[in-house]
Structure 1
Amino acid sequence: MDDASSSSLAVVENLDVARAPQPTLDGVYFIAPSERSVARVVEDCEKKLYRKAHVFFTSAAPRGVLNAIKASKACVSMLGNCSEMNLEYFTVDPKGFSVGVEDALRGTFAVGSEQSQAQARMMDMIAQRLATVMVSLGEIPSIRYMAKVGNKKSDVSRGVADRLDRSLTALLRAKGAEAAKNNPTCDVLIVDRSFDVIAPVVHEWTYESMVTDLLNVPNGVYQYKITTKKGEESKEAVLGENDPLWVELRHAHIAEVLTVLADKAKTFANVGPGGGVVGGRDLTTGQLKKAVEALPRVLEQQAKLSVHTSIAGEINAVLQKSALSEVGRLEQDVVFGDATSKDLIALFNDLDSRGVRLPMVEKLRLLLCYVSSHPQKIDESEKKRWMTNTGLTLADVNILQNLELLGVKVLKDGASNPFSSSMFGSSTKSIRPKVLERKGAGSEWDLFRFLPTMAGLVTELDAGTLDATEYPSVGISPGAANAPPTMMSPTKSRSVRTRTEASWATHSSAGSLGGDGDSERSASGTNHRRSDSMTSNRAASQRSSRRLIVFVVGGMTRGELREAHVLSQKLHREVIIGSTSLETPASFVEKLAGLASVASIPEKYADIADLSGL
Structure 2
Amino acid sequence: MVLVSAVRDYINRMLQDISGMKVLILDSHTVSVVSVGYSQSELLQKEVFLVELVDSISKSKESMSHLKAVYFLRPTSENIQHLRRQLASPRFGEYHLFFSNILKDTQIHNLADSDEQEVVQQIQEFYVDFVAIDPYHFTLNMPSNHIYMLPAVVDTSNLPHFCDRVVDGIASIFLSLKRRPIIRYQRTSDIAKRIAQETARLMYQQESGLFDFRRMEVSPLLLVIDRRDDPVAPLLNQWTYQAMVHELIGIQDNKVDLRNIGKLPKDQQEVVLSSEQDAFFKANMYENFGDIGMNIKRLVDEFQQISKSNQSIQTIEDMAKFVDNYPDYRKMHGNVSKHVTLVTEMSKIVEERKLMLVSQTEQELACNGGQVAAFEAVKNILNNESVSDIDRLRLVMLYALRYEKESPVQLMQLFNKLASRSAKYKPGLVQFVLKQAGVDKRTGDFFGNRDLLNIARNMARGLKGVENVYTQHQPLLFQTMESISKGRLRDVDYPYVGNHFQQGRPQEVVIFIVGGTTYEESRSVALQNARNSGIRFILGGSVVLNSKRFLKDLEEAQRMARSSTVVV
2:226 is aligned to 192
- 1:255 Cα offset (Å): 2.0
Q: Per chain length, whose mean CA-contact separation is higher, i.e. which structure has more relative contact order (CA < 8 Å, sep 6+)?
A: 1
Q: Quote the Cα distance in structure 2 between the aligned partners of 1:114 and 1:134.
A: 32
Identity %: 17
Q: Establish whether residue 205 from structure 1 lines up as the match of residue 244 from structure 2.
A: no
Cα 1:255–1:48 change in 2 (3 A) is closer
1:136 is displaced (CA, Å) by 0.9
Q: Take 1:209 and 1:585, find their aligned partners in 2: how far apart are those partners?
A: 11
Distance 1:136 1:325, change over 3 A: same
* 8 Å Cα contact 2:361-2:374 kept in structure 1: no
Looking at structure 2, the residues matched to 301 and 573 of structure 1 have their Cα atoms a distance apart, in angstroms, of 40
Mapping of residues 165-176 of structure 1, within 5 Å: 165-170=200-205, 173-175=208-210
Structure 2 residue corresponding to 1:13, chosen from 52, 62, 65: 52
SS at match of 2:48: coil
Computing the radius of gyration from Cα coordinates, the structure with the larger value is 1
Q: Among 177, 186, 198, which residue is 1:146 paired with?
A: 186
CA distance, structure 2, for counterparts of residue 597 and residue 221 of structure 1: 30
Superposed displacement of residue 303, structure 1:
4.8
Alignment of 1:458-497 (within 5 A): 458-475=481-498, 483-485=501-503
TM-fit CA distance, 1:100 = 2.1
| One-letter amino acid of the structure 1 residue matched with residue 542 of structure 2 | T
How far apart are 1:561 and its partner, in Å?
0.8
Q: Provide TM-score, normalisation by structure 2.
A: 0.75
- Residue identity in the other structure for 2:198: R
What count of residue pairs does the alignment treat as equivalent? 485
The alignment partner of 1:396 has SS state of coil
Shift of 1:263: 4.2
Q: Give structure 2 stretches of 5+ with no counterpart.
A: 1-30, 312-327, 449-453, 562-568
Correspondence list, 1:170-319, <5 A: 170=205, 173-175=208-210, 178=212, 185-215=219-249, 219-221=254-256, 223=258, 233-236=265-268, 237-241=271-275, 242-266=277-301, 271-272=305-306, 303-319=334-350
CA distance in structure 1 between the aligned counterparts of 2:331 and 2:52, rounded to whole angstroms: 35
Alignment partner, residue 22 of structure 1: 63
Q: Which amino acid aligns with 1:51?
A: G
What SS does the corresponding residue of 2:511 show, helix, strand or coil?
strand
Q: Offset of 1:93 from its aligned partner?
A: 0.9
* Structure 2 residue 369 is the aligned partner of structure 1 residue 337: yes
**1:238-294 alpha-carbon deviations (Å, 9 max, x no partner):** 22222211111110111222233344445555x5579xx989xxxxxxxxxxxxxxx
Structure 1 position 562 matched with structure 2 position 523: yes
Pick closer, same or farther for the CA change 1:449–1:130 going to 2, 3 Å.
Answer: same
Are positions 1:57 and 2:78 aligned together?
no
User: Structure 2 vs 1, CA of residues 586 and 45 (structure 1 numbering), >3 Å: closer, same or farther?
Assistant: same
The alignment's TM-score, normalised by the length of structure 1, stands at: 0.70
Is 1:576 matched with 2:546?
A: no
Map 1:90-129; keep pairs closer than 5 Å. 90-104=131-145, 106-110=146-150, 116-129=156-169
Match of 1:596 in 2: 558
Kindly tell me: are residues 596 and 347 of structure 1, through their superposed partners in 2, closer, same or farther at Cα, counting changes over 3 Å? closer
1:286-309: per-residue Cα shift (whole Å, max 9, x none)? xxxxxxxxxxx9988865344323
What secondary structure is seen at the aligned counterpart in 1 of 2:129? coil
- The 1:272/1:11 distance shift into structure 2, 3 A limit, reads closer
Match of 1:159 in 2: 194
CA contact (8 A) 2:293 2:343 kept: yes
Does residue 450 of structure 1 match 2:473?
Answer: yes
Q: 1:145 to 1:179 in 2, by over 3 A?
A: same
**Residue 424 of structure 1: aligned partner:** none
CA distance in 2, matches of 1:12, 1:212: 27
Change (3 A) 1:54 1:179: closer
Task: Give the 3 Å change call, closer, same or farther, for CA 260–46 of structure 1 in structure 2.
Answer: closer
- Would you say the 8 A contact 1:193–1:552 is kept in 2? yes
Q: Retained in 2: the 8 A contact 1:225–1:233?
A: no
Q: Tell me how far apart the structure 2 counterparts of residues 232 and 404 of structure 1 sit (CA, whole Å).
A: 42
1:366 aligns with 2:395: yes
Q: Is 2:84 the counterpart of 1:42?
A: yes
Q: SS of the residue aligned with 1:581?
A: coil
Distance 1:321 1:465, change over 3 A: same
- Check whether the contact 1:331–1:366 (CA below 8 A) recurs between aligned residues: yes
Q: How many angstroms does 1:189 deviate by?
A: 1.4
- The alpha carbon displacement at 1:345 in A equals 1.2
| 1:405 to 1:43, Cα distance in 2 relative to 1, 3 A | farther
Unaligned runs of 5+ in 1: 149-153, 280-296, 410-426, 477-481, 486-538, 600-614
CA distance in structure 2 between the aligned counterparts of 1:129 and 1:226, rounded to whole angstroms: 35
> Are residues 1:403 and 2:429 paired?
no
1:182, distance to aligned residue in structure 2 (A): 7.7
Which residue, 381, 390, 401 being the options, matches 1:347?
381
Letter aligned with residue 567 of structure 1: Q
